[in-house]
């Protein structure tokens, strides 16, 4: 089972028991995070696609690391003008270990969905 979540303006594919490097979060190391913007859930041949998000779905994880990526060199040059500019950039990221992919919010959500289908 895997899910596609949206955070930091990007979408990431996550699986239980694996980690994912995402845009920097302001959470501390060893703190729990919950992602409620689940775009898609896939469980074998069954899948749910949200419009825009899957209802009553969430992904739980633990922040394991706050770090920076490898340096990316940005080099600009204008031919025949003597203009050269070299810069480096290291993007900050947060490593999150995915613990649980939840598909329902519990009995209350199931009862509410049953009531709406009866009407």
The band of 106, judged by pLDDT with boundaries at 50, 70 and 90, is low
Task: Tell me what percent of the residues of the chain surpass a pLDDT of 90.
Answer: 83
pLDDT for the residue 111: 52
Distance CA 62, CA 31 (A): 6
pTM above 0.95, yes or no: no
Give the tens place of pLDDT for each residue, 23-70: 999 999 999 999 999 999 999 899 999 999 999 999 999 999 999 999
pLDDT for the residue 116: 42
- The DSSP result for 23-57, as a single string, is E--SPPTT-EEEE--EEEEEETTEEEE-SSS-TT-
């Amino acid at each position: 089972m895997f899910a596609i979540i949206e955070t930091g303006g990007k979408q990431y594919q996550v699986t239980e028991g694996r980690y994912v490097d995402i845009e920097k979060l302001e959470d501390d190391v060893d703190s729990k995070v919950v992602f409620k913007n689940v775009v898609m859930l896939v469980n074998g041949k069954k899948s749910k696609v949200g419009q825009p998000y899957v209802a009553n779905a969430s992904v739980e994880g633990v922040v394991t690391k706050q770090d920076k990526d490898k340096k990316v060199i940005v080099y600009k040059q204008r031919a025949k003008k003597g203009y050269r500019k070299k810069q480096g950039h290291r993007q900050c990221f947060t490593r999150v270990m995915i613990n649980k992919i939840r598909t329902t919010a519990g009995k209350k959500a199931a009862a509410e969905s049953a009531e709406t289908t009866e009407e």
